[in-house]
Structure 1
Amino acid sequence: MTDIDQAKQELREKVWRRLIDGGGAPADSYGKIPGFYGAEGTAEQLARQDFWQQATTVKANPDWAQLPVRVRTLKDGKLLYMAVPRMASLEPFYLLDPKNLGLPPEEAAEKKGAAQVARRLAPESMEPIDVVVCGSVAVNRSGARIGKGAGYSDLEVALLIEAGLVTESTVIVAPVHALQVVEEDIPETEHDFSVDYIVTPDEVIPCTNRRRPRGLVWDDLTPEKIAAIPVLAARAGRG
């Protein structure tokens, strides 16, 4: 583990403890993207924003914490791209079209529902993304964020950047509990991206230090990680 990895892990553990001890999330949130209390409020905050109202396509993680935002995406008539859990497919994104769901939005936006009714797509078959909704453990007001440490959010965004689908006009948001917003610096590496807005149940915080990778950073990927994610293994095999 590098010094940066260690620093990130120490911050994760601090925030998990603070969030659980402070009553912001259930006790079983430790080690996960927290399913924080008040997550429905983040969907309401997002829905009021001009960039959300103008958006037609949204990409979101499959975490429980983002379920209200995924539901709101569909109810607002937007296309929803949802990452396949652990990117365990050559086509690592689900497409949920609100015009053709086959289930109520509340069910279709869950992992189980999406697996039943959504089409799976590779980035080459997707439309440009207007808003990216990313699960986070901690985020600071500059926009630096950390997830639970598995790296899937970074890989998903990097793939979409390489495909020309996440661009300078794409807005990246982190819906979190207020206790997940930290004052500390969050160390960043080449593959990390920052968020443009932090969305809590009570406020929307603009972030000023935009950071985006140019795409996949292969030097940061272990052979085991590449082998475990089919879309990466296929690209490595072509290389």
Structure 2
Amino acid sequence: MSDIDQAKEAVRDRVWRLLEREGAVPEGSYGKIPGFYGNEATAERLAELDVWKRASTVKANPDWAQLPIRTRALQDGKLLYMAVPRMASLKPFYLLDPALLSLLPEEAAEKKGAEQIARRVGVDGMRPVDVVICGSVAVNRSGARIGKGAGYSDLEVALLIEAGLVTEETTIVAPVHQLQVIDEEIPETEHDFSVDLIVTPNEVIQCERRQHPNGIVWEDLTAEKVEAIPVLGKLARAQLPRNLI
């Protein structure tokens, strides 16, 4: 584990313990994207913003913490892309069209509901994304963030950037509990992305510094990680020199 990885893990540990100690999350939240109490209020606060009202397409993680926002997206008539857990498909996103739902929005927005009714799509079947909702363990007011360490959010965003679907016009949002907003520096690497907005049950924080990768940072991925994610394996093989195929 690198020094940066160790520093990130120390931040995660402190925030997870703080959330549990303060009763801000259900028992057993350590090690996960925190499904914090008050996540419904973050959805309501986000829905009041012009950036949300203007958006027609939203991409979100499948974590429970973001369920109220995914539900609100469908209720507000927005096309919702929801990441397939662990990107375990050549088409790593669920497409939920509010005009075609056979379940209530709150059911369709759940992982089980999406798996049941949503069509899986790859980047070639997606529209440009207006708002990205990313699960986070910790964020600071400059926009640096840390997930739970698996790296899927980074890869999802990098894949969409490389496909031209996440651009400078896209707003990246971290909905979190107030205790997840920390004052200290968060170490970052080339593949990390920052967020533009932090939304808590209590406030909206506009982050001025923007850091996005140009796409997938292949040097940061192990061969095992690439082969475990079908779409990355396909892209990697497509990039091999023809005489090596």
Q: TM-score range by the shorter chain?
A: over 0.9
Deviation at 1:236, TM superposition (A): 1.0
1:121-200 to 2 correspondences below 5 Å: 121-200=121-200
CA distance in 2, matches of 1:112, 1:79: 18
Aligned partners of 2:220 and 2:181: how far apart in 1? Answer: 26
Task: Tell me what 1:84 maps to.
Answer: 84
The farther-off stretch of 186-195 and 19-28 is 19-28
1:178-223 Cα offsets, whole Å, 9 max, x none, are 0000001000000000000000011110011110000000000001
CA deviation vs aligned residue, 1:55-81 (integer Å, no higher than 9, x gap): 000000000000000000000000000
Deviation at 1:27, TM superposition (A): 2.1
Question: In the TM superposition, what whole-angstrom CA distance separates every residue of 1:135-161 from its partner, at most 9, and x where no partner exists?
Answer: 000000000000000000000000000
Q: Does 1:102 align with 2:92?
A: no
The gaps in structure 1 that reach 5 residues or longer are none
Size of the alignment, in residue pairs?
A: 239
Deviates more, 1:2-11 or 1:20-29: 20-29
Please state how far the C-alpha of 1:124 moved relative to its aligned partner: 1.0
Give the corresponding residue for 2:15: 15
Give the structure-1-normalised TM-score. 0.99
1:235 matches 2:235: yes
Take 1:70 and 1:113, find their aligned partners in 2: how far apart are those partners? Answer: 12
Secondary structure of 1:195's match? coil
3-state DSSP of counterpart to 1:81: strand
Q: Taking every aligned residue pair, what percent have the same amino acid on both sides?
A: 72
Q: Could you say what the CA RMSD is over the residues aligned between the two structures, in angstroms? A: 0.5
**Is the partner of 2:198 in helix, strand or coil?**
strand
Q: Secondary structure at the match of 1:29?
A: coil
Structure 1 residue identity aligned to 2:145: R
Residue in 2 that maps onto 1:210: 210
Q: Which amino acid aligns with 1:137?
A: V
CA displacement at 1:111 relative to structure 2 = 0.3
Q: What is the CA–CA distance in structure 2 between the aligned matches of 1:126 and 1:163, rounded to whole Å?
A: 10
How high is the TM-score relative to the length of structure 2? 0.97
Aligned position for 2:54: 54
Where do 4+ consecutive residues of structure 1 move more than 3 Å? Answer: none
1:223 alignment partner in structure 2: 223
Q: Which whole-Å CA distance do the structure 1 matches of 2:83 and 2:30 have between them?
A: 22
Tell me how far apart the structure 1 counterparts of residues 27 and 112 of structure 2 sit (CA, whole Å): 23
